[in-house]
Chain A
Amino acid sequence: MTTKLFGEPVQRVEDAKLVTGTAHFLDDLGQDALGVAFVRSPHAHARVTDIDVTRALEVDGLVAVYTYDDLLASDETEGSAVAEPLPLLIPHPSLHAPRTGYALARDEVNHVGEPVVMVVARDRYLAEDAAERVVVTYDFLPPVVGVDNARRADRTVHDDVPDNVAAYNLDEVGHVDAAMAAAPRRLTLSLDIERSASMPMEGKGVYARWDAADGSMRVYSSTQTSTSVRAAVAAKLGLPAGKVECVAPMVGGGFGVKIVHPWPEEVLVPWAARRLDREVKWVEDRREHFVSSAHERGQLQQVEVGFDDDGRLLALDVRFWHDNGAYTPYGVIVPIITSTQLLGPYKPGAYRCEWWSLYTNTVIVTPYRGAGRPQGVFAMERTMDAIADELGLDRAEVRARNFITPDEMPYDHGLVFQDGRPLIYDSGDFPASLQKLKELVDWDGTLAMAEAARAEGRRVGVGLACYVEGTGVGPYEGAHVLVETSGKVKVATGLTTQGQGHFTSFAQIAADELGVALEDVEVVTGDTRRFGYAVGTFASRAAVMSGNAIALASRKVREKALRIAGEALEADPGDLEIVDGQVRVKGSPAASIPLATVAVLSNPLRYAFDETSKAATQFAVGDASGPPVGDDEEPGLEGTDYYSPTQSTFANGMHAVVVETDPETAEIHVLRYCVVHDCGPLINPMIVEGQVHGGVAQGVGGALYERMEYDENGQLLNASFMDFLMPYASEVPHIEIDHLETRS
């Protein structure tokens, strides 16, 4: 009997390769490819006045040195578009002054790390030798660093953006001024959030193979979106999409930074591979990742809240200033998420949110895990604590009094979410989640313990925070499911994987739908050769989007299998079931046919290519009265389907933490960390809990240790793992988890 796999903590199928060192990440490919190094700007803001490559030419093993002028020449003679600015990926009405960089700096650099010269050589060592011999002359310009500096606007990042404001947005639901004036109590908070970054253990990387005879390009990239990289490379190189393939190999973490594309290197590496007719590879080193990838989080916030004597929100007025760095290739997704997800599980009363997205001469700011949500949650949860303190009320009780209740679902906030759709919560049971969390942490007992500890002179505190998380962001994902004549099932979906266990969770879904064993299912993600239509992996959307698409495609295959098996078994398809890879008549399992045989029969053959395929050849198949492939049918036991929901779905969670600090050393000990999480039905609880663990660790890092430290000249002072402190095992607490599974 096939065991249902959905909901089971099955071990991951991808791990055998990963733990034996036989999985392939980007830099494990293309061992004989040419190596690339970049000359990057050492200045935050400057004009490039001269580039002298003479001394680089002496380096043995040098293959090519490229500057912006080479890109221009290529566009003029080869029909490429590599000299044009990089694309603005997500336009938005609020983004009135979007600016994007160039693949190689044209005449101005706007942050330390911006690529200026590309060097190609026999290997990376030699490319670096040559790169350090390139002399770039700069005229310095005054840099804009930090939100205060950007707001003051006595200096500008871009000459034609005099106030440094890339985007401005104002949303108001209800009448905030009137509600605020009428509120019996008011508080204001000024908050400041530091910059951090995704910082995956594997940096970015690109490896390109040009096939001159075929006129086609294969690009491997450590990306969160291979389909869109493919489209961007085709557009930049002037190639038909059908002549470009993009593959995301095993990817060593993403957390947002790898959703941005095309990075300069994703344009330049394939471009150089075609020019040189050689394989070319660039692998980012850690310092490059710090100064030339992306950061996130940095905001200044002002909150004014009006509330009643019971702590109920009447008016919430938020203003924040978002540091978007030097360019805005990913639009204003981060501030949009801050302004909408700030509301969490609460009814804010009248709500106004006004924000400015500001240019600074620093690395670009694009989504990092949460993508603006942590900032919004920070503002709201500090506000909740401030209200509780002001009124002397229990902090959990103040939160509970402001919850949206289950009978109010679906709940429309009257705002537009990051997918351009209304911010309508589909589900969630916030009172039940809070109750579970209070039980998990023993809320009253813990508060009493902390009180007692403080009475003894210890510094013990208890923290609480709630959030709602938009997931399953559209527009769509799709899947292709194929049953091979061996009975093995091949699943392909276009979005990518960076460690989330998709190869297992998706296989669980397909195996359940098709009645086959998990080990007979193989899942491929992020390979345009296998599936060409996709959006990408971000915003916790993969399980919702591709998971549903795989279920739908599998059901199509199942329906077809039952139809073909029904003909073979002379049974009504409605009386059939698939168990352990056998299609059989319900109640009389002796009448059965292997799914493998059904796959053979699904493809009428003239030629037998092996023993099993003989069953499908023209003199073996019985009914000669109709066409071998019916009018509405296709050969092969396979199916494709897409999942495209009308709007996002919303998960939620609540965390409680007990922290003790040492009054002498300020050392912080997290005594307990408890999480209640509601993502709906869990596909694989082991994997879900692993995701929660990782999220908490990044939260600990962001709250206590990580900070991008820029000086007034725009130099990143801590661009190494020695100075940018990510948590080790010694900094991350043991995490206790409970789940709620509220259906959408």
Chain B
Amino acid sequence: MPKLVNLTINHTRVTVPEGTLIVDAAKEAGINIPVFCYHPKMEPVGMCRMCLVDVARPVIDRATGQPVLEADGAPKLSFGPKLETACTTPVSEGMLVVEDSPKVTAARKDILEFLLTSHPLDCPICDKGGECPLQNLTLGYGPTESRFDFADKLHHAKRVPLGELIFLDRERCIQCGRCVRFQEKIAGDPVIGFYQRGRKLEIQTQTQPGFDSIFSGNTSDICPVGALTTADFRFGARPWEMEAHPSICAQCAVGCNIVFNTKREARSEGGMAIKRVMPRQNEAVNEIWLCDKGRFGYHYLQSGERLTRPMIRQNGELVPVSWETATDTIVERLKTGRSGLTVLAGGRLANEDLFNLKRLADAEHGKTLFYTHMGGGDLTGQVGLAPGSNLATLGKGDAVLVVASDLHEEAPIWWLRLKQAAARGASLVVLNPRATRLDDFAAISQRYHYGRVMDALAALFAGEAGQVLSQAANLVIFFGSEGLGVDGSQAVAQACANLLIRTGHTGRPNNGLVGVWSEPNAQGAWELGYRPAKNLTAELAEAHVTLVAGADPAGDDPALAETLQQSEFLVVADLFMTETAKRANVVLPALPYSEREGSFTSGERRVQRFTAALPPREKAHTEAMIAARVAARLGLKIEESLPVVFEKLAAETPAFTGLSFDRLAETHPQKPLLSREDLYYSGTAYENTAGLGCTLALTGSPAEAEPVTPELPAPVENALLAVPITRLYDRSSTLVHSSSILGQRMIGAEVWLNPQDAAERGLSAGAEIEIHLKSANWPVKVVINADVPAGAALLPRSVGIPAFELAALEI
């Protein structure tokens, strides 16, 4: 427990831990000291001088070392000769801070007048106008008139693209350095910096392509003026015109808390539309940050290509029908079917959908299969993170192991949080076949050959790293699927679980196994009992009625497409006409999560609730409702209302015991304090009033088991080893649809080769070639990367090439 310090701010007495800065202490006391450059998530720099306050400290008698007392017995205070910056000055015992004296008021006014000497004040067309710290502080503390003519001010061309996502307005920049510091200290991408000095100072990008960082959008949130705007939102709406709907990002397994800002839009014929995605504070998940995929990748939700009507196949063609007809067709089939229903669901579905589909399958003597390319979720349910876990509290004495995953690409915010944990003193151990951005701050980083992960893990546990891991006070293990299929990652998960169990790192907060899934609710599917099929092709070939929801197996794998083509009766519920849907007998339009409520379970096992941001635009239903309607026609009772479904789910699933939508909506005060009124303090991130979510209880009694290592592909003469990897800007089941704004960063079908392997085969970067994999040819583009181990050919997942585990590949 740090020492507490008593001080007085204006007339309020405050007690705060030693080392607290005056600004933060004042915030605790409900006094807002205006700031521009200070940000509670970053070290203070004292650049803008907006936070000047008058500080008095007790006079100490040099002879006795005791405070000098006034006649009335109170300690004698002495004010410093100058005002001090509240953002850089830590509190001390007996201090008196005055922030409302005429001296301070005059200083603030001067600073603001100074800042405005080169500010265009084009608030009417500024995206920040309405939520602008400079605007608010000028109104609150600034001069009422300018002594500078517009013509005398500094003028620059208005729109300077820093990258294709962020535009800079140099006239508006007040040189606070928040963006530069964020990129350097928090995002670890020092890709923008100051150029020149004094009034000429401007922000410049130092990379090609410009502003090459996957966290770039955050700078526009924390910029205290409208100097940094996003290409996506520019002029999209005024802040006060938009509604704010709390939701959860569905692009990866981290589960960042977001807000969908919506407004009526002429392009949508006067309907509501999502205008931007903003972070919502959850210090246990994403703090106040988002990655660019989450921020800019939402466009698929309101795509014009979404399915709008149910369809059934008649004479080989899919024709639109009513919901009644579609449901009838399914029900008839189920009634006459020889055996039940096979549900194949992806991790994109909400908990409620998965639960209802499972109940329907169970009632119909059917089975539920999980469509995934990664195993191990049964183990994360037993030895995963326990309630009370928070990566932000990992530090000295704790350890984190990351196996077979490039977190920077697969789960950017986890990467960010581990970076901070390492900075706080946690030991990060990385085991990956190639260099990743985790190595930047890893204490121990080891490599292995693709296919040799189990040996590498055994060696790692036996060595020095094993010591670090087993002796850590808390241990979290992240496992991914780089170069691994379902069985391979299952084996890795088992080996990691064994270590956790063996070293007593289970069942406690901040200890456990985390799967780096690529879908928002993969963990939820595992928790609800969905398991991948041992042999999916066989299962699908045998099934009589197949329902595929939230997954596109045919698009991923031509072999599965072939099987599904032959299926007896295929029902597909999806947002788009996927390859699987094209082969269906009945196609049902599903509702995107932005138009309904529900809950996702993040990789950290945190169940979080999202709400409807838009009214349902098309004639679409949730998968939960589809299941309920079909059930009703079969004479079964399955609830339709999502809160009720969740209650039922919680009652029947041990890990969810005691949870309800209301519980998920509970919040408690978080540090640093944000508030929408003083936007200058921490940017435009939303305060969390809609719920912090709850971590699932751990169930089952974890026991060590021998991992089953899958066999390696037989070596083929002259062939490379095809290795599936996961990239951020893919076209995966998560991003679903290409977002035009991220278009330039999106990857297509490509193969990554080591420079030497490429040279031997006479291939240059960018060459369009064909690769031979699984007895078919695939056109790809060559990417040459020195981090790729020799003999390996890395294939990003979900761009249409069926690379799911290691395989032989010929060029």
Is B one of A's binding partners? Answer: no
